[in-house]
Each structure stands twice: as structure tokens, then as C-alpha cells.
Chain A
Amino acid sequence: MSGKNWFKAVTAFLLVLFLSSPSMAQTIRIAVASPFTGALAAYGDNVRAGVTLKVEEINAQGGINGQQIQVEWMDEQCEPREAATVSSRIAQNRNIVGVVGHLCSSAHLAALPTYLRQGVPVISPTATSVAISDQSKDRNGNTWAFRVVYRDDYQGEFLARYVNEVLELQNIAVFYENNDYGIGLKDAFVNKARELGLNIVGQEAYIKGASDFNPQLTRLRGSNPDGLFISGYYPEGALIAGQADNLGMKVAKFGADGFDNADYISLAGSSAENTYLTVPFLPDVAEGEAEAFLQNFRERFDREVDWMSANAYDAAGILLQAIAEAGADRAKIREYLASMNSPEKGYHGIAGLTYFNEKGDSLKPAFVKKVQDGQFVAAPIQLD
């Protein structure tokens, strides 16, 4: 490099510093890490909607201490590999004080080591894997990772109780997707169901993207189940429900939050009727400011709200409250979040009260939806 080029490089560097420093004083930056492209982009879009609504509200009220909030959207496509890259980019950008994300448990798990090592507070609106609980602390025992959603094992056990007490089913056939989510959920369900005296008549696994489930269903049909638990996501779930119907299986179908998508009903058609599913947020039974939120959401995005948007709205709300109370500093935000450890110190969001245990998990209730006349409605009986 000649002397002239050196001069140019240094000038450019100083120029960047000069241009970026004033904006640091004017805005507070947070990152949202989710899939915004790729197969799960639709989910990422839900999270984006929730955070957008919250940030717009705060900014419209003048921001935090006169500073506007600016969001950096970080696309990780729900890929652990991408999530690892995105998390280091976030950690290195000292202007970013906290993260809402990640959406998928697998991506969240891949990103966590970076956040813990570099000290970045992170709140996931949607990651339900049990494994996250044991990876939320750094070496000094400080919790950096929090989440505003229940865990898979809670959800699985809740479903078993619901099936036993409300639906009063006896013989359950289980169909699960062979990944962290499907297996974790299934194991929790099966253990609790056995404990409650339910009869698990068969367990079958499938791989994501499979489309023919007739052989497995035929085998399950032989044991005369009255309930079919599908532990996975809605695209395969819809196929399973439809094929079970075609084989003449008269069973109640039930699943978890992976089913919560209107596409489930359009894909499964009439076979979707009488499907029950657990969700972390239910507009019909939401409390407090929820009505205003639902109204705003509809006006701003021209669609009905989903649980991911509701949780993202709350996750952003908690992070921004921490910034407002403790200041725009990563370590102080972490301390504030960790101190939200009892119902009294909790955050009252639209998805209910959120507070964290020492592993960063929140204790949130689950709600039950069912499919009736081609629509999701709140199940008539909810469990505590």
C-alpha cells in the first residue's frame, strides 16, 4: 500500500467513527435474531410484527430518555450455523445492547455460547427446548439468556393432563417428528400420561418433509386408539390427520404450539375438526391491555394476531423496560432482568405475567385451542 492509500484508509476510518458516534448518542439499538428468509420466514415475520409494534409504541411516546429505539433485524434462517455467525456479529457491535431472539431452539442453542462469553443479554420469545435452561449461565453463574415462553416438558405434561381430565381419552397413539422438539415434547407427554394411567398403544416416528404416513398409521390403527398425539409441526401434522381420516381412524387428534397455524386447517380440510392444541397465548382469554393490542395489531398488519407476535411484543417490552430502568448497558440490563425473579417484580404483558427463575425460564400457563367448523376457537374447558 502506498502512502496515499494509507492516508485514504485512515481518513475513511476516521470518517466512519465521526459519522457513527453522534448516532450512538441519539438512538438505542437492539437486535432481533430470527429467520426472515428461508423455509421458516413466515414465523420470523410474526416475531418481526410483534417487536415492530412495541418499538413503534415506545418511539411514538418519545423513546427512552429522549433516545429513539432502533432495531437491527438479523436473519439466521433458523439455521444453527447462521445463528452462530449472527450472534458474533451482534456481540461485536457494541452499540447493540440486547437481543430479542432466537426463534428456533436449535438456533438459540447455537447462539448462546457467544452471548454468554461476550455478555449480551438475550430474551427468546419462542424457544421451548429444555436444553436451553442449562445453557443460560456464564462461568461466573450469571444468567444472560431469558425466555418468555414455557418449556416443552411443561407443555407435554400439560397436554397429558388435559387429555386425561378434559378429553377423557384412554388409548393414545403417538406420532412424533424425529428432532429435538418432537422428541422432547413426546417424552414429557408419554411419561406423564403413563403416570396418569393412560395407555400408550404405539409410538411411531417420522422425518421432516415426509409425506406418506399410511404404513405407520395402519400399524397404529391395529391397536384401536381413541386419541392421536402428533408431536411435530403443522405441515406433516395436517397430512397425518388427513391420512388417518382416510384410513377410517375415528380418533381425537391433539398437538402443541407447532400446530398453531391457519395452514393446518386449510391443508387438513375437514380432517382437522376436533384437533386440540396447546398455545402460550390465546386472544379470547388474554387480560389487561390485550384488547388494545389486538386492535392495533389488526390495523397495523391486517391479520389476526398469533402467539409468536404476542410473545415477541412482550419480549421486546421487557427488554425495553430493562433499558429504561437500568440504562443502555449490557451488564446492567442483565442484572435488571435477573432481578425479575418473583411475581411482584414481574412484567405484566399481554401474554400474562412474566418473571424468570434463576435459569432464565418463565413460568407461563398454557391454553388450549381446538378446531371447530374450520376455525381455531378457544377450547370450552381450560386447565390451570
Chain B
Amino acid sequence: MLEQQLINGLTLGMIYALIAVGYTMVYGVIQLINFAHGEIFMLAAFLAVTFITVFGLPLYVVIVLTMACCALIGVLLDIFAYRPLRQSPRLAALITAIGMSIFLQNLAMIIWGSRPRPFVQDALPSFLRTTAFSIGNANVSWMQLSIFVLASTLMLVLFFIINKTRVGTAMRALSQNRTGAALMGINVNRVISFTFALGSSMGAVAGIMVAIYYNTLYPTMGYVAGVKAFAAAVLGGIGSVPGAMIGGIVLGIAEALGAGYISSLYRDGIAYAVMIAVIIFRPSGILGKSTVEKV
């Protein structure tokens, strides 16, 4: 049973991690908790289903197309909701983020209705639900395996972009000192837009995978996923990309073990308890740098 719980938790954790990197990157660059990020995750699931049912596209094309659409939505979100408030107090942007979250949720409800709906089964390869291999008593399905592989690949790509490319260097520079970076000739707004696009496309993949994994999507699905991913980002040290990945996986496994061995009613409680414990004993998170807050 332990092996199975670990696999369950790892699957969940991979998904949290993919959403959490979006939170953490945006925070790293402009110190904003983008609470509408969970809604981008939800929109991705609905867009993917719409692309399949309306245009009949194959799944891999749909994933790429949805990533592109969500990247665009992320950029638009920044341009219209956050950019005008760039010089305002942080609280203003935070409240706007919550407002955008509610707005996008209701927009989805108007467009797609409030009832939960299944993913399009015909678009999926049939082997996804079957067992890929077993470890002891535990079964790993092809679906779970795909989530591991896809999420790990995306995170490696993300790692490469941040550490090895010019725009990644610019992102890191911005997160250290925005004014300094601007003085060095970095186009600040363009880099911020790129950050939103990158985070949103990662969240989009998570949204599609969740919709397929659970075979259900609904307009409020972004809320809980968003809060959990935010917790994962804080757990890993907000602003740190590898921290968000580790935080997501730790949170997923803690939840699965907590629900499996202690009580399923406390699963969310356990997840948050882990987060609170980390914040108390290591305020900057697992991989975060401890800095003195300048208030």
C-alpha cells in the first residue's frame, strides 16, 4: 500500500509542481501573487475540450495549441490587469488578481455552463487507463507515467530556458533588481510578459492533464488547485523555481500519505500543516534564500 500511496502522491505532486512554477516565476519577477493563475489552469482544460470537439484536432496538437492560447491569455492578463498597477502598492495588484480570478471563473461559467463535464474519451489513446507496470502491489497506469514524463520534460525545458537563454538571464536579473536590470537595457515589460506566457503554458499542461486524469472539468476547478499550488510554491520558497517543483512533490506526497494513513478528512489540513511547519521553522521555504524584508 505504501508504494501505491507514494505513486498517487507523486502524480498529484507533479501536477502541483507544474502549476506552482507559474506562481513562483511571476512572484520572483514582479513580487505579485497571481491568484488568477488557477483560472488559467481551468481555462486550459475547457479550451482543450473545445478544440477537440469543435475542430476535431488530435491530442498532441491540442496540447500545443492550448499552451499557446493560455500563454496569450497570461500575457493579456498582465497587460490589462497588472501592468497599469505596476507602480501602485502591492496590495492593489493582489486585489486585482483575486478579482480577475472571480471574473475568469464566471466567464467560464457563462461560456461553458456550470455543470461538470467529462473529457472527450475518443481523443485519448485507449491504453492510457491500463497498467504500465507494477512495483510490488502498486500499479502505475500509462496515464500516471505520461504525467511523470511530460511534467519532468517540461520542467527540464523550463530549467534550460531560465539558466541558459538570454531571456532567462533577463528574468533572473529582473528578479534581483528591476531598476538595475532596466538600466542595463533590459526591456522590463517584455520580460514580464514572457514570464507570464511561460508560467501560463506550464499551468495549461497541468490543466489538460488533470482533466484527463480525473475525466472531469468544471469552472471552479482552478480554485483548489490554485491554492494548493500556491502552498507548494510557498513551501519550496516563493520565487525559487526548483523550490516550487520540490514543494509541489512534497505537498502531493504529504497529502496522499495523510489521507491514506491518518484521515481523509484531514488531507487538506495535513497539506497546510506541512506548509505552516515549514514556514515556522524555515520561513524562506525549503530552497528560498533568507532575505530581510524591507518594509
Contact = CB atoms under 8 A, between A and B. Distances in A.
Interface residues of A, number: 33
The A interface is mostly helix, strand or loop, or mixed, namely helix
Contact of B129 (A214, A218, A246): A246
A261 to B, nearest CB: 9
Contact of A242 (B4, B215, B218): B215
Contact of B224 (A204, A209, A219, A267): A209
B215 A269 contact: yes
A268 B141 CA distance: 17
A25 interface: no
A263 B256 contact: no
Nearest to B214: A211
A214 B265 CA distance: 14
A212 interface: yes
Nearest to B116: A235
A110 B260 CA distance: 36
Contacts of B256: 214-215
A6 B221 CA distance: 54
A215 B5 contact: yes
The B interface is mostly helix, strand or loop, or mixed, namely helix
Nearest to A218: B4
B132 to A, nearest CB: 12
B116 A215 contact: no
Contact of A263 (B4, B115, B139): B115
Contacts of B221: 211
Contacts of A247: 4, 139
Contacts of A210: 267
B265 A215 contact: no
Is the interface on chain B under 10, 10 to 19, 20 to 34, or 35 or more residues?
A: 35 or more
B118 interface: yes
Contact of A218 (B1, B117, B220): B1
Given A178-B265, A215-B260, A266-B117, A209 B8 contact: no
Most buried by B among A215, A219, A245, A266: A215
A209 B129 contact: no
A274 to B, nearest CB: 17
Contacts of A42: 115
Contacts of B257: 215
B114 interface: yes
A269 B121 contact: yes
A238 interface: yes
B216 A218 contact: no
Given A214-B256, A218-B4, A267 B9 contact: no
Nearest to B15: A212
A216 B215 contact: no
Given A218-B1, A247-B139, A211 B216 contact: yes
A246 B141 contact: yes
B1 A222 contact: yes
Most buried by B among A210, A222, A246: A246
Interface of B: 1, 4-5, 8-9, 11-12, 114-118, 121, 129, 131, 139, 141, 143, 210, 214-216, 218, 220-221, 224, 255-261, 263-265, 267-268
25 contacts: A39-B114, A206-B264, A206-B265, A207-B265, A209-B224, A210-B267, A212-B214, A212-B255, A214-B12, A214-B256, A215-B8, A215-B255, A215-B264, A218-B260, A219-B1, A235-B116, A239-B214, A239-B215, A246-B143, A247-B4, A263-B115, A263-B116, A267-B216, A269-B118, A269-B215
Given A210-B267, A267-B216, 10 more contacts: A214-B11, A214-B256, A215-B264, A218-B4, A235-B116, A235-B218, A238-B215, A247-B4, A247-B139, A267-B215
